[in-house]
Structure 1
Amino acid sequence: MTENASGILPGTVRVRVAPSPTGDPHVGTAYMALFNLAFARNVGGRFLLRIEDTDRARFREDSEQQLYDMLHWLGLQWDEGPDIGGPCEPYRQSERLETYRPFVEQLIEQGNAYRCWCTPERLTQMREAQQKAKRPTGYDRLCYGKTAEQRATLPGFSEIPVVRMLVPKDAPIRFTDLIRGEVNAPMPDDQVILKADGFPTYHLAVVVDDHLMGITHVVRGEEWISSTPKHLLLYRWLGLDEPVFAHMPLLRNTDKSKISKRKNPAARLTWFAEQGYLPQALINFLALLGYPPIITTDDEGVVTEREMMTFEEFAERFDWSKVSSAGPIFDLKKLDWLNGTYIRELDRETFIDAIIPFCVRDEVFAEAPQGADREKLAAIAELIQTRLVLLSEAPGYVRPFFTAAADLQIADDARAQLKDGAAEVLTATIAALEPVDEWTTENIESAIRAAVIDGLELKPKVAFTPIRSAVSGVRISPPLFESMEILGRDETLTRLALLRDTL
């Protein structure tokens, strides 16, 4: 095989994800990127990142960098893009404006497009009239076949025109989809393809860019099904090869509504990093939203279903025939389960490094602990790793160990559990612990049980509640006796005495 002028090998599968930098990255972008990348890796293809920034009214300058950061966080690496270049540069639509003009002129010359001078106000009135008359909404072609001078004599004239497609009555409304088979789509109207500001609309730019960048498979959300006939018309009018289409099902809330950033914070991709989800858990979860678990059968015919999978496993077994067309429910309980499982599988040092940023963010300590403090954090990590669902839960467990006794606040729910006799329990505990020579978990537990459970004849829950409140300041804490060993004798006795003296 030989490369073409753009350096693209013929027959190479090329896919892309093309987000708009109009706000915080949407989790749907990661969902689409994951399936595009898995397919590309499965067949030895190329995965492109293109920035579709023609919507200047909603453009946000920091959005593009956020997108890079979050996709890198997830480990979804592209082969070509604005930040790394490639044979089809530039990869930002705003830098490709002159690329689109010849295609627009070709469409106009062929009679497939025309200029429209209608003002926004006139278009609004037109739509309102159509709705009032209960007619389908769509452009009424007032400008079609007219020159600027002819149109200027009519109401609602704007000197700077847009360009519209001239959609025939026999426009294609059927196409074949990799996931859905034969699809019927609604008849399009005369869509604007070039705006008054000189920027192309999505519909023209996506067709031109996908062609020039050699995109062989367009994998996108099902909300674009209704636009596909417009794109097919443009491909055919311009004499371009049509790509294969695959429309992924939309991610949905538990009420079946489309997941959106306005209604659900989990629609923001940054939210998952902020909450303390591991990238491998989120990748696994997104894969399961559109793809079945790994099914294996042993020598005895026993079938096992495994939901946990790496990206490499997902890509290796990727098959479009297995991608579901049903809208998946974005069930955070499933993601929480996966995340907790992945957290428990981290080696200890990786786990420590993972929770430190959250502890710094929540001001448990000012910077990453070193030396003895790192050793203390390692001991704490051993107690809490199996308890976490989210990494953001770690500061609540770690904070009491890095807070001076005088600064430790007893949480309201912990104080509310203190019953009559709590002071007596604390006094007995102090007396039992003071003579303990070797400060180990076993010796601490043995001394407390002898003095409080046996000596005061109390049930463990009643006996340990005031001790836990004094030591940790919270109602739910890491294992009590292990925590006391980490804190040390002097700190533990000081905390016990401080709470006792307030009762």
Structure 2
Amino acid sequence: MTQVRGRFAPSPSGRMHLGNLFSGLLAWLSVRRSGGVMVLRMEDLDPDRCRREYAEQLADDLRWLGLDWDEGYGLGGPHGPYLQSQRTELYQAAFQKLEGQGLVYPCFCTRAERLAASAPHRSDGQVIYTGKCRCLTEEEQREKSANRCPAWRLMVPDREMSFTDGLQGPYSEHLERDCGDFIVRRSDGVYAYQLAVVCDDGAMEISQVVRGRDLLDSTPRQLYLYERLGLRPPAFYHVPLLLAPDGRRLSKRERDLDMGALRRRFTPEGLTGLLAFWAGQLDKPEPAVPGELAGVFDWRKVPAGDITVLPELLEA
């Protein structure tokens, strides 16, 4: 049996919050339960938001909780570098491969134009791009390039893309209708998350991806990229989101329960036990250590639906 290779790939754009930690713990437990290899990668694509000091703090917070890793940030390994900002050549090569297949095209639309020319929004509010720039002639592209640097989109086919998630079950999207042509390189030259994450997980031989349920609808697009780039996709497990009592998703932007506050209020064992309780691994929130939980971790006990974080449970 091939050894499981899992990863935790946070963005060092601020302090981790409780939701990040929940996904990270489940990823770690799943890998350790199977005796696999854990990789820590920093997804620092955005130069305006990501900082090295955040990456250092993130690594320190993981060590504080008792979540170690076998290769990756700070350790190195055979698949480095483990900072996305240092992997641009890999993304460029993938972009050129897609370009050689005639699948990418420049998009000159402003945000306002994208909204005006979009298909009806999906139920989650996502705009579906209708392909306005897909049929521009080379002359029209040159004219527009004189005034605006384009983003680059991947042309998707009229095709259903389906997979079975390890926690959420069967999931399917029609690429053209539900996703639309999506950006693989921004107008500032930064490669988009969808392309980078596929390149990285493929190159690092990741076989299991555990991440938040909010990324479930990204998976069909990524599976299409895996296919076009000739890479083997991993198994996916999309875990529930942690919600505030008013229904808001916990986020870095609003500084909900970040690790600075959590470390002042909890011991590592206390916080681990609370997260494990929410994940269905404990009958009640009581102190626990990750190493002990790994031996009895069971995906069948993890709830599929989102979890409301009750304030009284955070009174350490």
Q: TM-score, normalised by structure 2?
A: 0.89
What code does the residue aligned with 2:234 have?
Answer: P
Please name the residue that 1:149 is paired with.
139
Q: Is the 8 A contact 2:241 2:307 kept in 1?
A: yes
Please say if 1:178 is aligned against 2:166.
yes
Gaps of 5+ in 1: 1-9, 295-304, 340-503
Once the two structures are superposed, what CA deviation does each residue of 1:236-284 show, in whole Å capped at 9, x if it has no partner?
Answer: 1112111101000000112232122454641x1221113x311111011
Q: CA deviation at 1:325?
A: 0.6
Please name the residue that 2:39 is paired with.
48
* SS of structure 2 residue aligned to 1:160: coil
Once the two structures are superposed, what CA deviation does each residue of 1:172-191 show, in whole Å capped at 9, x if it has no partner?
Answer: 1x320111111244721111
Q: Out of 334, 337, 342, which is 2:313 matched to?
A: 334
Gaps of 5+ in 2: none
Please name the residue that 1:17 is paired with.
8
Q: Is the 8 A contact 1:22 1:58 kept in 2?
A: yes
More strand by share: 2
* SS of structure 2 residue aligned to 1:108: helix
Once the two structures are superposed, what CA deviation does each residue of 1:289-314 show, in whole Å capped at 9, x if it has no partner?
Answer: 112425xxxxxxxxxx7854332231
Report the RMSD for the aligned CA atoms in angstroms. 2.4
Q: CA deviation at 1:333?
A: 2.0
Please say if 1:260 is aligned against 2:251.
yes
* SS of structure 1 residue aligned to 2:72: coil
Q: Is the 8 A contact 1:289 1:329 kept in 2?
A: no
Please name the residue that 2:27 is paired with.
36
Once the two structures are superposed, what CA deviation does each residue of 1:4-32 show, in whole Å capped at 9, x if it has no partner?
Answer: xxxxxx81101111111112222222212
- What pairs with 1:109-148 in structure 2 (closer than 5 Å)? 109-116=100-107, 118-120=108-110, 123-128=111-116, 130=118, 137-146=127-136, 148=138
Counterparts of 1:32 and 1:195, CA distance in 2: 27
Q: Out of 281, 292, 301, which is 1:313 matched to?
A: 292
Counterparts of 1:130 and 1:104, CA distance in 2: 25
What code does the residue aligned with 2:112 have?
Answer: T
* SS of structure 2 residue aligned to 1:182: strand
- What pairs with 1:51-450 in structure 2 (closer than 5 Å)? 51-116=42-107, 118-120=108-110, 123-128=111-116, 130=118, 137-146=127-136, 148-153=138-143, 158-172=147-161, 174-185=162-173, 187-263=178-254, 265-266=256-257, 268-274=258-264, 276-293=265-282, 307-336=286-315, 339=316
Counterparts of 2:213 and 2:285, CA distance in 1: 28
Say if 1:319 and 1:135 are closer, same or farther in 2 by CA, change over 3 A. Answer: closer
What code does the residue aligned with 1:286 have?
Answer: L
Counterparts of 1:66 and 1:170, CA distance in 2: 43
What code does the residue aligned with 1:331 have?
Answer: L
Counterparts of 1:212 and 1:169, CA distance in 2: 28
Q: CA deviation at 1:61?
A: 4.1
Q: Is the 8 A contact 1:290 1:328 kept in 2?
A: no
Q: CA deviation at 1:231?
A: 0.3
Say if 1:79 and 1:335 are closer, same or farther in 2 by CA, change over 3 A. Answer: same
Q: TM-score, normalised by structure 1?
A: 0.57
Aligned length: 309
Structure 1 moving runs of 4+ over 6 Å: none
Greater Cα radius of gyration, structure 1 or 2: 1
* SS of structure 2 residue aligned to 1:62: helix
Aligned-pair identity in percent equals 35
Q: Is the 8 A contact 1:112 1:237 kept in 2?
A: no
Q: Is the 8 A contact 1:14 1:217 kept in 2?
A: yes
Counterparts of 1:291 and 1:125, CA distance in 2: 46
More helix by share: 1
Counterparts of 1:308 and 1:42, CA distance in 2: 19
Q: CA deviation at 1:222?
A: 0.4
Q: CA deviation at 1:126?
A: 3.7
What code does the residue aligned with 2:116 have?
Answer: E
Say if 1:157 and 1:318 are closer, same or farther in 2 by CA, change over 3 A. Answer: farther
